[in-house]
């Protein structure tokens, strides 16, 4: 199923902006002290580098598949096409949509919960007030996304400017402080590469990888990207390189002012950083900008995920109601409203730390490892031309699978068991759905 060029409205700049605002969000501001605490030393930057390396390697897989199948839904189409020859295409694509109906609202809720947590720096909140704010963020996002994609592209660029401007301001504050390079000079101080270090990298990388997630968001919007065979890979690599540099320099900047052994215990680390540099007014402004960044992330994530159930339903593999498009705006409004509604409930129920680990545990087996293996299968069959081909194939795929396995193990057995339960329930739902369809055909 090809998409007419006239229906593709998002160019490289807009696609990159959507990716980048999805990647940043509240993640790095909330997880920065957590990562430092896990690493417990000046070498915490290695966890951020590890997250960037995994993202870059995995983006090669997404680039091959995104350029070859530039349609709405991203991984739904990738899994269906790559496993088609084995007979497991329908099951794998169904499982992806099944878990998306749970983990996509978790992603949206995580950003909304983080928003409410940072908002409490400005106004101390009771737990119930924090829940009202996180739920309100989800509702406002759905309202903003209830419009045409061209308007959304323009909104994304404005939010991108705010995201990049905020991080550049934070970095600039550290540079002006005059001690910017000291954390890099101390990077290997007391570093011993042993089991404890590897384990710490694993636990910390669960948080840094969460902060990089979103580099592939453009693939979910594949049917709306101009010149997708070039712009989908380019937007991902530009996003990763840009965000990795900003994350690393932002960490260096903050720790050049607040030593790591104090930073690890700060709940509002960046706000404290700006207060140390320029006083309470600057800290308040920085906090407001961080909240705008978090809001932008929820906006981008919800936009991308709303296209997945729609793509599956339009393909006849999911409930037909999700295939409905808005009669005026031509966007999947049923999918948007459903995911927004579930995200609203999750934002009122769960804690941020549990949500982050659950997101990764649920996604790794089907989405990341699953589609990496699928690419190997499709490449082996030699039945598909790939506009983008990764260098050194198949080594990036093999390395990505190994690292994702390590990250999955680091989420903990409780999260792994939860992810497996979701998969098993999905298999049961698929079998039941297939049975009902066969019965209806007979009747």
Q: Which residue has the higher pLDDT, 18 or 423?
A: 423
Q: What pLDDT score was predicted for residue 47?
A: 95
**In this predicted model, what pLDDT tens digit does every residue of 379-408 receive, in sequence order?**
998 888 899 999 999 999 999 999 999 999
Its pTM stands at 0.85
Q: State which of 4-18, 135-149, 260-274, 429-443 shows the largest mean pLDDT.
A: 260-274
pLDDT of residue 7: 63
pLDDT above 70 for 130: yes
Structure tokens at 163: 């995201």
* Residue 123: Cβ-neighbour burial (10 angstroms; 0-12, 13-18, 19+): exposed
Task: For 155-213, write each residue's pLDDT tens digit.
Answer: 777 878 888 888 899 999 888 887 888 888 888 888 888 988 999 999 999 999 989 98
Q: Which two tokens stand for residue 330?
A: 């031509």
CATH architecture of 5-442: Up-down Bundle (1.20)
Sign of CA dihedral 111, 35, 130, 101: positive
- 198: tokens are 């590897």
d(CA 313, CA 324): 9
Mean pLDDT of 340-357: 84
Q: Which of 278-282, 368-372, 438-442 has the highest mean pLDDT?
A: 368-372
The pLDDT of residue 202 is: 92
Residues across the chain = 443
For residue 441, is pLDDT > 80?
A: no
Alpha helices in 40-148 (DSSP H): 45-68, 75-82, 89-119, 127-145
| Averaged pLDDT for residues 339-348 | 90
Question: What is the b/e burial string over 143-153, where b = at least 16 CB atoms within 10 angstroms of the residue's CB?
Answer: ebbeeebeebb
The answer to whether 141 touches 298, Cβ cutoff 8 Å, is yes
Q: Where are the domains of the chain?
A: 5-442
Q: Tokens for 352?
A: 């941020």
Predicted confidence band of residue 45 (pLDDT cuts 50, 70, 90): very high
Q: Tell me: the pLDDT tens digits for 406-416?
A: 999 998 898 89
CA angle 403, 404, 410 (to 5 degrees): 90
How does residue 6 score in pLDDT terms, banded at 50, 70 and 90?
A: very low
Tokens 């593709």: give the residue. Answer: 8
């Amino acid at each position: 199923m090809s998409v007419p060029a006239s229906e593709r409205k998002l160019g490289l700049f807009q696609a990159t902006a959507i990716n980048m605002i999805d990647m940043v969000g509240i993640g790095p501001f909330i997880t920065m002290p957590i990562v430092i605490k896990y690493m417990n030393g000046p070498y915490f930057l290695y966890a951020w580098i590890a997250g960037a390396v995994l993202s870059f390697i995995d983006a090669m897989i997404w680039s091959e598949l995104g350029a070859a199948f530039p349609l709405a839904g991203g991984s739904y189409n990738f899994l269906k096409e790559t496993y088609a020859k084995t007979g497991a295409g329908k099951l794998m694509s169904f499982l992806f949509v099944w878990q998306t109906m749970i983990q996509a609202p978790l992603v949206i809720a995580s950003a909304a919960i983080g928003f409410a947590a940072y908002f409490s720096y400005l106004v101390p909140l009771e737990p119930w007030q924090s829940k009202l704010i996180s739920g309100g963020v989800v509702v406002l996002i759905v309202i903003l996304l209830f419009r045409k994609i061209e308007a959304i592209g323009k909104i994304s660029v404005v939010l991108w400017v705010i995201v990049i401007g905020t991080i550049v301001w934070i970095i600039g504050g550290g540079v002006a402080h005059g001690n910017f390079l000291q954390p890099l000079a101390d990077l290997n101080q007391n570093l011993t590469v042993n089991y404890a270090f590897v384990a710490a990298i694993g636990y910390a990388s669960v948080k840094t990888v969460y902060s990089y997630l979103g580099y592939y968001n453009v693939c979910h919007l594949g049917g709306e990207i101009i010149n997708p065979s070039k712009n989908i890979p380019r937007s991902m690599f530009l996003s990763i390189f840009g965000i990795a540099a900003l994350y690393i320099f932002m960490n260096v900047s903050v720790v050049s002012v607040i030593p790591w052994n104090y930073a690890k215990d700060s709940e509002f680390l960046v706000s404290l950083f700006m207060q140390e540099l320029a006083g309470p007014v600057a800290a308040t402004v920085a906090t407001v900008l961080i909240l705008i960044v978090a809001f932008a992330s929820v906006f981008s994530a919800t936009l991308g995920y709303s296209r997945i159930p729609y793509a599956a339903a339009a393909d006849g593999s999911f409930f037909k109601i999700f295939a409905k498009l808005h009669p005026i705006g031509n966007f999947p409004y049923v999918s948007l409203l459903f995911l927004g509604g579930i995200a609203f409930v999750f934002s009122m129920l769960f804690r941020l730390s549990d949500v982050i680990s659950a997101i990764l545990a649920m996604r790794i087996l089907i989405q990341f490892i699953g589609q990496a293996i699928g690419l190997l299968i499709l490449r082996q069959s030699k039945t598909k031309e790939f506009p983008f081909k990764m260098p050194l194939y198949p080594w990036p795929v093999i390395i990505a699978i190994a690292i994702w396995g390590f990250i999955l193990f680091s989420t903990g057995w409780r999260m792994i068991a939860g992810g497996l339960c979701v998969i098993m329930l999905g298999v049961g739902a698929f079998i039941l759905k297939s049975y009902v369809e066969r019965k209806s055909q007979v009747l």
